[in-house]
Structures are given as structure tokens and as C-alpha cells.
Amino acid sequence: MQESHTVGQKDLEAIAERVVYLLSQDKRDRASVVLLEGDMGAGKTTFTQILAKYLGVAENVNSPTFILKKEYKTPHSNFTKVVHIDAYRFVHPKEAKVLRLEDDLENRETIVVIEWPSKMNYIKADVKLSFEVIDDDTREVTLTYEKDI
């Protein structure tokens, strides 16, 4: 399934809600993986902040560009942890092994969100969001759900 939406920042909450709904419907035995594609400044981190807030994360969510991976606990009934990865700095997919994602990917109550997923091309997506800048306030967001990925 693929959907495209032309949105402003305030509209991203509806997309976050849609992503959580889709992931909640699928009873997988592993973590849910959300891949975020788009140029720098396209809205990937902003979307992650909105997704985390929707799931009830109380702390500030920032891009883990320099620390690579950040984890947040949530009070959500289906997803108790969000793992946010920014793979921008990776040159080769093997570099991602430093993240030690095995445990995170095995936990079905975890949502793993990856910015710049082309740098970690071995991770299978459940949802892929592609962000395209239309203007300063508007983005075209294409949501692809796992059956099409």
C-alpha cells in the first residue's frame, strides 16, 4: 500500500498516527522498522519527534547525528520503546554494526526509526516514508507499507 500526502508540519501528526495504526495491526514477532528518506532538512527528524510525542515520549527528541542511536521509553500499550538512528555519517553498511541493533530488532514492542536508511541497506522496512521538500512549509510525504516494500 502506498499513499502520498502534501503536508505542513502540523499535519505530520496524522501521518504518525497512521504509521502507529498500521504497525499495531500487524502482529509481528520482532520490532517494527520505519525508514525515513529525504534530503537534509526535509522533515525526517521532525517526523520522529512527532511520532515519539504521539507515543507518549516526554523527553525532547533530537537527531542522533553524532551519537548515532538514541532510545526513548514510551507508555504506549503496543510500543514501549522508540529507537532513533541517524545513519548519515556511515560510509559503508558494515559500520552500523557498532549500533548493536540485534536486541532492539528482536523486541516486538520496539519501533526502530532510521534516518538515511540507504546507509544501512540490510534492514527490512515495515513502513517507509519519503519526504520531498515542496517549499519552506510544505512537504510531499509518501508512505509505503511493508507489502509494497
Q: Is 22 a residue whose pLDDT tops 80?
A: yes
Global model pTM greater than 0.85: yes
Could you count the other beta carbons within 10 Å of the beta carbon of residue 66? 8
Q: Which residue has better confidence, 134 or 149?
A: 134
CATH number for position 136: 3.40.50.300
pLDDT attached to residue 116: 93
Contact 5, 143 (CB under 8 A): yes
- What is the span of the domain harbouring residue 108? 2-148
Q: How many domains does the chain have?
A: 1
Q: In the structure, what pLDDT confidence band is assigned to residue 147 with cuts at 50, 70 and 90?
A: low
